[in-house]
Amino acid sequence: MEGNRVVITGMGCVTPIGIGIDQYKTALEMGVSGAGPLTNVEDTEGLNVLIACEVDGFDPNDYMSFKTAKRTDLSTQFSLAAMKEAITDAGLSLTEDGNLALDDNNQRVSIIMGTGIGGFKTTQEQTRILLNKGPRRVNPLAIPKLMPNAVAALGSLEFLIHGNAKTVNSACSSANDAIADAYDKLVLGRADVTISGGSDAGISKLTIAAFANMGALTKQYNDNPTIASRPFDMDRSGFVIGEGSGVVVMERLEYAQARGARIYAEVLGYGATSDAFHLTAPSKDGSGAISAMQMALDMAGLRPEQVDYINAHGTSTPLNDKMETIAIRKVFGAYADNLFVSSTKSMVGHLLGAAGGAELIATVLGMQHDTVYPTINYTTPDPECDLNYVPNKALNQVTNVALSNSFGFGGHNVCLAVKKYEG
């Protein structure tokens, strides 16, 4: 797409292996697993999955007022914390009241966020109250807390941003879709600054039971959760549900340069497709993923052999990992053997609609620090997954160009193309 060049100037995250990009980077380098026993689900009776990648040590009052925390779901609290870090990291000024101070009304700033299931913890909690205590006991703030658009709307309200604010929902590709939409706004000159990414906090008895019953979650590692998420490994048997948020600040290059911003990376383009195959399963031939990666390369003006690294969707499910491997080999041909491919989900689990945001940040951090982060728990190679998955230990490796894949239930495929910025 011709138009303005787009760069990443700020990043913020809340993840099961670290709150804030510094903690996150350190844990990624060390190959830390965020999986553990369920601690935030009070009633686990009858569940056959008792593990998750939960965020530890998060206090919303560290990032927002008590009033804001009280009227928001955990998914929105995560997004507000990640947004605040990303805005500060970008060097954008905040007033004493915490409002973004760029122009008179911040109409040239957009917030575009993604979420998979929105305020689901609130939905389950208030349904239980309705059934056990009656309609009059339902929280009058239930709707503002559970509505999916809250992850963007509260950001607009909290930082006093008057530009377009919206939430994208495309299951597990939601964050990448939001970032792609934000990219378009900047390329077309409809915004100077965008705040985008994803947030989800869907760990609950209902979600665990539903994902487990459909065969998506691993049930084999309740006694040893840290080895449960094992993308591309022969013994993978399902994903580990996680929670968190990943947010990036993107700007038109000229705008970022004019204000002297530090630039992390340049976003070159994206590809977005639909399988039109099955409501939950990926197409077996990888056609949708193939098209998304090829579109990203075409928009970015890249040849396959210019790509150094792919942050894979890599869920640790038998079907997805095999399909993604097939798709990468189809797009990159013999050059696929030269690629580094790894899955951040081996460490953080599957953050649902937040996954793409956290994974793009991991991709950019790796570029910045000449490091390729590993796929942990990779012990038994699968003949059908035969790429270099960077097993178990981070590599000191320069990467200049990378793709970041996200694929979602419903057949959604979004691939982002980024490169190290050379000023």
Catalytic residue set? 172, 313, 350
Phi, psi values for residue 183, rounded to 5°: -60, -45
On the question of a common fold for 7-258 and 269-420, the answer reads yes
Tell me, what's the pLDDT at 1? 54
150 contact partners, CB below 8 Å, separation of at least 6: 72, 73, 75, 76, 118, 119, 144, 167
Output Rg (C-alpha) for the chain, integer angstroms.
20
Q: Are 253 and 371 in contact (CB under 8 A)?
A: no
The topology (CATH level 3) of 7-258 is Peroxisomal Thiolase; Chain A, domain 1 (3.40.47)
Residues in the chain with pLDDT < 50?
Answer: none
Q: What is the pLDDT of residue 213?
A: 96
In DSSP terms, which residues pair with 375 in a beta bridge? 391
Give the span between the Cα atoms of 206 and 395, in whole angstroms. 39
Length of the chain: 423
Asked if residue 370 lies in contact with residue 398, where contact means CB atoms within 8 angstroms, the answer is yes
Residue 322: predicted pLDDT: 96
Distance CA(177)–CA(228), nearest Å, equals: 28
Boundaries of every domain in the chain: 7-258, 269-420
Q: Which CATH number describes the domain made up of 269-420?
A: 3.40.47.10
Neighbours of 373 (CB within 10 A): 28
Q: Which residue, among 237, 202, 254, 246, has the nearest Cα to 6 in the 3D structure?
A: 254
Closest of 418, 382, 395 to residue 300, by C-alpha: 418
pLDDT of residue 284: 78
Tens digit of each residue's pLDDT (9 = 90 or more) over 325-382: 999 999 999 999 999 999 999 999 999 999 999 999 999 999 999 999 999 999 999 9
